[in-house]
Chains A and B, each alone.
Chain A
Amino acid sequence: MQPQVARGIADTPTARNMAKAPNRARRQGGRGWSYNLTSWLGLVPFLLFCLLFEILPAIIIIQGSFTDDTTGKPTLDNYRHMLSQASNLHAFQNSIAISFVTALLGGIIGGLAAYGVYNLRAGWLRNLLIGFSSIAANFAGVPLAFAFVATLGVTGFVTVAIHNWFHVNLYDLGFSIYQFWGLVLVYTYFQLPLMILITLPALSALRPEWKEAATNLGASNFTYWRRVGLPILLPSLIAATMLLFANSFGAFATAFALAQGNISLVPILINFVVNGNVIVDFGLGNALAVGMIVVLLIAVSLYTAMVRRVNVWQGR
């Protein structure tokens, strides 16, 4: 009887609390309002910086899109202007199409290539490919544009080689690096390695045991992928594709250097409206920018939703 009682007392919450009392008391006092305030003070430099150079630019764009440039009065004219001109809508159409196509191409081909890297037995080759992908994914913008002019431009290496070997001139066939499909090829150059880099960690979530279990139960390779592999990977793949979409939707330098503004994309149009020699129309620029933000917000929220799902699934 007695030992039991003793244990009973020792186990009561009060006894445990007494033992930890000094610690608890200090913490509780520390968690008070003033403690919290000093904690938040440590964030002030960073938050102030973000406010000045990240949040306020966004606010001023949204505010400016509803304001008349000359009178400063609230108006919807900027949006009316944007929607009434076919060229603006065409730019949005082009930008979305090019981002969608390159994200899909990058997602599918890059995803398969990532699986190839994942399956490589040789560690050195794996590391080499990952390293090379990092370089290629970061090799974008103006240098990439001129690299493609050197490759597939009118006198580019590959254009000339195809002409010499097959006696076919790509530019006679209607291909041009300066137009939609040419730009798709250029954007795909940075989308593919990006996809490989994003997808590789996700692939390591696939356990070999699952494949073995499926095979033991008589599943073919195809059935395994349809019933096990793809459903597991799908959220990661969608998240990665959304990132690729956002990546090419916001791209400006590559397209600008390549076509010098002769291709209709939203970033190029914004640059023309805001930075142009002839007219400067910040109102329209703001409305176009808000349009871009809206499209990107959809992509980014899909991305975060998918990442959250992956994290829940993998218990991270």
Chain B
Amino acid sequence: MSIGGTSAGIPQRAIAEINPPRKNKTTGRRIFGVDKLVLTLVALYLLIPLGATLWFGLDTGKGFDPSTYLRIFKDPDLSQTIITSLELALGATILVVVLVTPTAYWVQLRIPGARPLLDFLSLVPFAMPAIVLAVGLLQEYSGSAGPVINYLSLGLVPVLSNNLNIINTPPLLVCSYVIIALPFVYRPIDNSLRAINTTVLTEAAYSLGSGWWRAFLTVILPNIWPGIISAALLTFSTVMGEFTLASLFSIYTFPIYLNVTGQNDPHKAASLSILSFIFTLVCVLGIILLVRRRPAGLGKDGQVEIAAAK
């Protein structure tokens, strides 16, 4: 037994000996209290639907048939939509990391005064869910946004909507995914940057003759790698399952395919849901395995941040 373990136990035991009637009650609670009971029930609540879905996917009405899981792969739409989703997810992940990481570093190093602004911008998606963002973007890039918006955007909205015709295209979808991902990308990267001594590391790199970019790429980046990986995998996993924006932009992604399938064939949809679950599992496992060993992790508890795009 470790010293830490016993020292926490001593006062409890001392009280129990002074006051014998309470002993059983306290020790009983120690072993299996209300919290443990609730935790067990919650774990069951989270596990049962997964087991049920697995069973439902295998069940064809005439008993179990593992070949149903192979059946779902025969649909050409599946591979096509998965590829579309993978491309979108990859695009959004790269864009959000490239956009946020240097910015967060720059703010930390040169203008800490701008931090509240970044905090605000990464909080906005909480107050503006995907459906609202989609309604806004559809009007903004419809080509008739009005003079106020055109001026406020420094003339970029007319270029994007009229010349590049960005509305309902994958690039616009990727950009909106970047916004959705902001809350859970900025936070871990900023936390990682705070955990290392950015200023000292950078000044050390400067004094050894490196420039800003070199200091960023060879000194800072390797140190905040865990934060970046967790942010990237969360973005990836979220985009793979995102339905709202893709639906409003009429882009045929995997979740849309899953929704269409589910209306006709709930058994097939169950199998596809398991596939989707495995995907989330791989992403989260990736975060846990790649991040846990590194020093400057996500937070004190090394826990995974959560995507909020439901």
Contact = CB atoms under 8 A, between A and B. Distances in A.
A200 B303 CA distance: 9
A119 B270 CA distance: 35
B121 interface: yes
Nearest to A221: B29
B38 A119 contact: no
Contact of B258 (A110, A134, A142, A254): A142
Contacts of A198: 306
B53 A201 contact: no
Contacts of A136: 46
A91 interface: no
A266 to B, nearest CB: 8
Nearest to B98: A45
Given A56-B152, A193-B46, A149 B266 contact: yes
A175 to B, nearest CB: 16
B94 interface: no
Interface string A194-225: 10111011001000100010011000010000
Interface string A38-68: 0110110110111111111111110110000
Given A60-B145, A215-B12, A274-B248, A143 B136 contact: no
Contacts of B99: 45-46, 49
Interface stretch (B67-75, B104-112, B197-205): B104-112
B57 A109 contact: no
Given A57-B140, A197-B306, A158 B121 contact: no
A57 B53 contact: no
Given A43-B103, A45-B99, A151 B284 contact: no
A67 to B, nearest CB: 8
Interface string B274-292: 0011001101110110000
Contact of B111 (A43, A51, A52, A57): A43
B136 A256 contact: no
A79 interface: no
A56 B176 CA distance: 12
Contacts of A145: 262
Contact of B131 (A131, A193, A250): A250
A92 interface: no
Interface in B128-166: 128-140, 145-146, 148-149, 152-154, 156-157, 160
A275 B247 contact: yes
Contacts of A138: 234, 237-238, 241, 280, 283-284, 306-307
A98 interface: no
A142 B258 CA distance: 7
Contact of A50 (B55, B114, B121): B121
Interface residues of B, number: 110
Interface in A216-256: 216, 221, 243, 246-254, 256
B26 to A, nearest CB: 8
B162 to A, nearest CB: 15
B190 interface: no
A192 B45 contact: yes
A289 B160 contact: no
B136 A142 contact: no
Chain A interface size band reads 35 or more
Contacts of A46: 99-100, 103, 118
Contacts of B293: none
B262 A146 contact: yes
B280 A56 contact: no
A150 B266 contact: yes
Nearest to B25: A221
Contacts of B138: 274
Contacts of B106: 39, 42-43
Contacts of A149: 262, 266, 269-270
Interface string B212-249: 00000000000000000000001001100111100110
A60 B243 CA distance: 23
A182 interface: no
A57 to B, nearest CB: 3
Interface of B: 8, 11-12, 15, 26, 29, 33-43, 45-46, 48-53, 55-57, 99-100, 102-103, 106-107, 110-111, 114, 118, 121, 123-140, 145-146, 148-149, 152-154, 156-157, 160, 175-176, 178-179, 182, 234, 237-238, 241-244, 247-248, 255, 258-259, 262-263, 266, 269-270, 272-273, 276-277, 280-281, 283-285, 287-288, 299-301, 303-304, 306-310
CB-based closest 5 A-B pairs: A57-B136, A250-B129, A116-B39, A157-B52, A150-B56
23 contacts: A40-B114, A43-B106, A53-B176, A60-B136, A116-B35, A129-B39, A134-B284, A135-B281, A138-B238, A146-B272, A192-B45, A194-B306, A201-B301, A215-B11, A221-B26, A246-B126, A252-B244, A252-B310, A267-B244, A271-B247, A274-B248, A289-B135, A296-B128
Interface of A: 36, 39-40, 42-43, 45-46, 48-61, 63-64, 72, 109-110, 112-113, 115-117, 119, 127, 129-151, 153, 155-158, 188-190, 192-194, 196-198, 200-201, 204, 208, 212, 215-216, 221, 243, 246-254, 256-257, 260, 267, 270-271, 274-275, 282, 285-286, 289, 292-293, 296-297, 300, 303-304
Given A42-B110, A192-B42, 7 more contacts: A56-B149, A63-B148, A143-B272, A149-B266, A246-B127, A297-B127, A303-B126
